[in-house]
């Protein structure tokens, strides 16, 4: 970041001395006012619950222009990456800052492939869960448990440890998600197959059985790989900020990523894809497109507590570029599977059309986000609704790690320790229980 030719002056109506604060610029996007010395100079904190106007860090990984609906991974537009690259190239880009050449891609892919198995002991953790446990409950546990198997590489300040942990997490998340699925349906776990692609291997571990050969459908393989690319990173969202704050204590990468999994589960965040599919199925069950108007009235009624899941975004005040790409992927997969008239897809498109013409949504700049169509394509592939957020976590792991490693590699980083505006009781004496 560089000092802008601008300064911020904060003055106070009560006559307190004004303070001057430096302003910094990045390569693109809003400048920042550096308030690090504000408390020392004024004895006051800034107040920004939900971080609506707060940059918590500087980063060179992902840039979002919410007004334009633009998303760049290391400067490359998501539309170009989703069309011209695969997930392994995208992982290399996010982790190391550049797209690999063919040789570099082969080396990186081989490293990941050779770490896809998990320790045999891991399977025994599954047995502690009920068969109907939510996969995100299982994933939160399993990812944290990984740290118990790699005491040789949990020093987050060691670049070599950070690199091998990154490879292990990217490689093993698909295996763990597939194990959670197999456990829920009472089928045996399938081991990774090294001759398959990252997405193909995941499909095999999910849907193959020991009883007969499983052939990966190339259209579905490509669609899943694109879904992974679209979910790989997204600037300082809630789960990434969780990973950064958790990692800032110096805890190991597995524990920090497990914290990200836990945060992503929420329906306002990564859990929205599951919530969106459930919403579509409820509308479909109550009458389908003919009931959309009635549903929209509920959404616009503040007292109903009903939201149009998969719509709205803290940053995008325009169409989420990932939603457009996801809708295209929907079209491709449904056509390949002969499901062009999938009622839920038709319903989602009808909902989107109505919302984009409705003043409530237009005035609030609410557009479809990444979660609006992702559930429909995953459901068409055969992924159960409860597993959607697990797939999101699988794909976002590379982004979480890239962001964590960027923070730890920043010599300026400190443990994150926000303050508060205290509104509780002033000091008071404890009375004996007989007098309370």
CA 26 to CA 236: how far, in whole Å? 15
Which residues on adjacent β-strands are paired with residue 368?
A: 311
Which of 312, 321, 313 shows the shortest CA–CA distance to 70?
Answer: 321
Q: Could you tell me the smallest distance in angstroms from the CB atom of residue 135 to ligand SDX?
A: 18
In the complex, residue closest to ligand SDX by CB:
312
Q: Find the binding residues for ligand SDX in span 201-240 (CB under 6 A).
A: 234, 237
CA 345 to CA 317: how far, in whole Å? 23
Q: Which helix (H) or strand (E) holds 10?
A: strand 2-10
Residue from the set 105, 193, 291, 307 that interacts with ligand SDX by CB under 6 A: 307
Which tokens sit at 265?
């589960």
Q: Could you tell me the smallest distance in angstroms from the CB atom of residue 69 to ligand SDX?
A: 12
Q: Could you tell me the smallest distance in angstroms from the CB atom of residue 126 to ligand SDX?
A: 27
309 binds ligand SDX (CB under 6 A): yes
Q: Choose one: 119-127, 128-136, 189-197, 307-315; the region binding ligand SDX (CB under 6 A).
A: 307-315
317 binds ligand SDX (CB under 6 A): no
Q: Contact 269/331 with Cβ under 8 angstroms?
A: no
Q: Contact 149/172 with Cβ under 8 angstroms?
A: no
User: Active-site residue 371, yes or no?
Assistant: yes
Residue from the set 183, 254, 311, 345 that interacts with ligand SDX by CB under 6 A: 311
Residue from the set 61, 190, 272, 330 that interacts with ligand SDX by CB under 6 A: 272
Local structure of residue 73 (DSSP, 8 states): E
Distance of CA 215 to the CA centre of its chain: 30
Local structure of residue 212 (DSSP, 8 states): B
Residue from the set 312, 321, 375, 390 that interacts with ligand SDX by CB under 6 A: 312
Q: Contact 25/31 with Cβ under 8 angstroms?
A: yes
Q: Choose one: 122-130, 190-198, 308-316, 382-390; the region binding ligand SDX (CB under 6 A).
A: 308-316
Q: Choose one: 143-151, 266-274, 333-341, 416-424; the region binding ligand SDX (CB under 6 A).
A: 266-274
Catalytic-labelled residue, pool 204, 231, 313, 320:
313
Nearest residue (CB) to ligand SDX, 222 versus 313: 313
CA 275 to CA 308: how far, in whole Å? 9
100 binds ligand SDX (CB under 6 A): no
Which tokens sit at 424?
């509780």
Q: How far is CA 158 from CA 57, 152, 166, 225, in A?
A: 21, 11, 12, 31
Count of chain residues binding ligand SDX (CB under 6 A): 21
366 binds ligand SDX (CB under 6 A): yes
Which tokens sit at 164?
């091998």
Residue from the set 86, 225, 342, 371 that interacts with ligand SDX by CB under 6 A: 371
Nearest residue (CB) to ligand SDX, 311 versus 345: 311
Residue from the set 107, 268, 335, 362 that interacts with ligand SDX by CB under 6 A: 268
Q: How far is CA 218 from CA 8, 222, 431, in A?
A: 55, 6, 72
299 binds ligand SDX (CB under 6 A): yes
Which tokens sit at 210?
């020991």
Beta 19-25 vs 70-73: how paired, if at all? Answer: unpaired
Q: Which parts of this chain interact with ligand SDX (CB under 6 A)?
A: 234, 237, 268-270, 272, 299, 307-315, 364, 366, 369-371
Which residues are the active-site residues? Answer: 313, 371
């Amino acid at each position: 970041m560089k000092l802008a030719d601008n300064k911020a002056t904060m003055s106070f109506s009560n006559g307190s001395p004004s303070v001057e604060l430096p302003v910094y610029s990045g390569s693109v996007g809003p400048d920042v006012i550096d308030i690090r010395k504000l408390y020392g100079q004024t004895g006051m904190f800034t107040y920004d619950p939900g971080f609506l106007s707060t940059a918590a860090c500087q980063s060179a990984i992902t840039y979002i222009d919410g007004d334009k609906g633009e998303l760049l991974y290391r400067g490359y537009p998501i539309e170009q990456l989703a069309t011209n690259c695969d997930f392994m190239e995208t992982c290399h880009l996010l982790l190391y800052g550049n797209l690999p050449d063919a040789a570099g891609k082969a080396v990186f892919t081989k490293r990941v492939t050779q770490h896809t198995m998990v320790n045999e002991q891991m399977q025994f953790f599954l047995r502690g869960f009920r068969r109907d446990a939510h996969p995100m409950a299982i994933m939160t546990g399993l990812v944290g448990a990984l740290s118990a198997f790699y005491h040789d590489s949990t020093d987050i300040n060691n670049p070599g440890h950070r690199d091998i942990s990154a490879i292990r997490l990217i490689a093993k998340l698909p295996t763990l998600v597939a194990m959670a699925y197999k456990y829920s349906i009472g089928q045996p776990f399938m081991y990774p197959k090294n001759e398959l692609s990252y997405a193909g291997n995941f499909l095999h571990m999910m849907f193959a059985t020991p009883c007969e050969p499983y052939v990966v459908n190339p259209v579905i393989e490509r669609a899943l790989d694109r879904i992974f690319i679209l979910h790989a990173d997204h600037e300082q969202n809630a789960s990434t900020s969780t990973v950064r704050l958790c990692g800032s204590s110096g805890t190991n990468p597995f524990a920090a990523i497990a914290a990200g999994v836990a945060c992503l589960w929420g329906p306002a965040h990564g859990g929205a894809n599951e919530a969106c599919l459930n919403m579509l199925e409820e509308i479909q069950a109550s009458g389908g497109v003919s009931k959309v108007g009635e549903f929209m009235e509920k959404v616009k009624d503040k007292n109903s507590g009903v939201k149009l899941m998969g719509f709205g975004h803290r940053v995008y005040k325009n169409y989420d570029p990932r939603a457009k790409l996801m809708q295209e992927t929907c079209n491709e997969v449904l056509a390949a599977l002969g499901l062009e008239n999938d009622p839920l897809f038709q319903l989602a498109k009808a909902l989107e059309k109505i919302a984009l013409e409705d003043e409530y949504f237009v005035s609030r700049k609410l557009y479809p986000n990444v979660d609006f169509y992702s559930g429909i394509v995953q459901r068409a592939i055969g992924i159960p609704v409860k597993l959607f957020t697990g797939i999101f976590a699988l794909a976002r792991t590379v982004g979480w790690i890239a962001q964590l490693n960027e923070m730890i590699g920043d010599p300026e980083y400190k443990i994150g320790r926000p303050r508060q505006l205290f509104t509780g009781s002033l000091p008071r004496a404890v009375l004996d229980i007989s007098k309370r």
